[in-house]
């Protein structure tokens, strides 16, 4: 018997009318590229505890150059695209941006994996909230806002890169027989500017709530934050907004300097300046182990360097000779 709509048991995530398949949506995983970050964060700092189950997916787009992005990947068990009709999500934005957190629906021919496409909601489309503070979005299949790129799409009546409704994909000559293998929520892909941190606490797909929580492997994964400049002072902060362990700092300076100046790492304590602590300091002219100027610096931290959600690690260096530098923070999220 053919089905016009897939029915879900929201308690067990069982797909009732396809008994051979035992799951619909899989465990979300976080991904990022370039200077962007995606990691799990506890909802500890106000106003973040207002929503969700205690863990958020934190997406940090960072400096945008057209290919930096952070996202939540949710595996889907070969759902016919004609069955996907609803999606809701909420997110807290640190600042107003040119793009919100947008949905991407990944589809393929279930009989030929050479044929696939990602169908992307325009990140800057009207109606997708982009303001600082709490935002929420309900996906509309009838709104012209989706474009695709892919491989093996010969025969489609749609043009790659052109915006359509999701309903047009569902009715397309070839796509109507394809299935969904992944849904993602993403922040990034802008050509310029900087995207600040975004917290995602709630996602529902086709009426099914997607649990957002890390695995132990997620918490053991290393997270990196990058800062680079070709001139000017180094003044950066690591601010994960969740309990974390500082693992290491790496500083690369392109040319040995001739000026005496210190590179410092300081705890900017959330409880006030009376708790600020100097973690590390070295003179980049005289402080290397060989007695010469520093151009490569690795500072290990690790166990014992644990901090709470409102602590920050501030790094500073005056760089009076305008040298090019790159600074890398490495940290882990604590359970």
Question: What's the confidence (pLDDT) of residue 293?
Answer: 83
Output the DSSP codes for 114-165: EEEEEEEE-TT-TTS--SSEEEEEE--TTSS-EEEEEES-TT-SS-TT--B-
The CA dihedral of 141, 142, 143, 147, to the nearest 10 degrees, is 60
Question: What's the confidence (pLDDT) of residue 115?
Answer: 98
Classify 222-333 by CATH class.
Answer: mainly beta
Classify 8-218 by CATH class.
Answer: mainly beta
Q: In angstroms, rounded to a whole number, what is the distance separating the alpha carbons of residues 23 and 105?
A: 18
* Tokens standing for residue 160: 């790659």
Kindly report the pTM of this predicted structure. 0.88
Closest to 139 (Cα-Cα) out of 192, 90, 72 = 90
Q: In angstroms, rounded to a whole number, what is the distance separating the alpha carbons of residues 38 and 57?
A: 7
Hey, is 274 helix, strand or coil?
helix
* pLDDT above 80 (res 318): yes
Q: Which of 38-47, 219-228, 253-262, 308-317 has the lowest mean pLDDT?
A: 38-47
What is the DSSP-derived secondary structure letter of residue 262? E
Name the band, by pLDDT with cuts 50, 70 and 90, for residue 290.
low
> How confident is the model over 108-155, as pLDDT tens digits?
999 999 999 999 999 999 999 999 999 999 999 999 999 999 999 999
**CATH 2.60.120 domain residues, the chain:** 8-218, 222-333
* pLDDT above 50 (res 8): no
Name the band, by pLDDT with cuts 50, 70 and 90, for residue 5.
very low
């Amino acid at each position: 018997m053919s089905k016009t709509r897939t029915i879900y048991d929201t308690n067990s995530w069982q797909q009732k009318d396809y008994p051979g398949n035992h799951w619909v949506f899989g465990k979300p995983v976080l991904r990022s590229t370039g200077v962007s970050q995606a990691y799990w964060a506890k909802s500890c700092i106000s106003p973040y505890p207002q929503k969700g189950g205690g863990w958020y997916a934190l997406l940090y787009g960072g400096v945008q150059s057209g290919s930096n992005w952070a996202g939540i990947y949710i595996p889907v068990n070969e759902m016919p695209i004609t069955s996907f009709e609803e999606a809701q999500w909420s997110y807290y934005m640190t600042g107003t941006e040119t793009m919100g957190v947008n949905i991407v629906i990944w589809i393929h021919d279930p009989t030929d994996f050479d044929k696939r496409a990602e169908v992307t909601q325009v990140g800057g489309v009207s109606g997708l909230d982009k303001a600082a503070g709490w935002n929420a979005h309900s996906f509309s299949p009838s709104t012209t806002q989706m474009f695709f790129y892919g491989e093996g799409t010969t025969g489609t009546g749609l043009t790659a890169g052109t915006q359509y409704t999701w309903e047009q994909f569902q009715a397309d000559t070839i796509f109507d027989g394809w299935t969904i293998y992944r849904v993602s929520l993403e922040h990034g892909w802008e050509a310029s500017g900087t995207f600040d941190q975004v917290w995602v606490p709630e996602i529902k797909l086709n009426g099914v709530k997607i649990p957002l929580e890390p695995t132990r492997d997620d918490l053991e994964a290393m997270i990196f934050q990058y800062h680079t400049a070709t001139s000017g002072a180094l003044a950066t902060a690591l601010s994960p907004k969740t309990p974390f362990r500082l693992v290491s700092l790496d500083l690369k300076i392109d040319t040995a300097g001739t000026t005496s100046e210190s590179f410092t790492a300081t705890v900017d304590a959330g409880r006030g300046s009376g708790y600020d602590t100097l973690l590390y300091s070295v003179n980049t002219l005289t402080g290397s182990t060989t007695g010469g100027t520093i151009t490569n610096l690795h500072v290990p931290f690790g166990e014992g360097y644990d901090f709470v959600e409102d602590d920050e690690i501030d790094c500073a260096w005056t760089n009076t000779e305008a040298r090019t530098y790159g600074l890398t923070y490495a940290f882990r999220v604590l359970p």
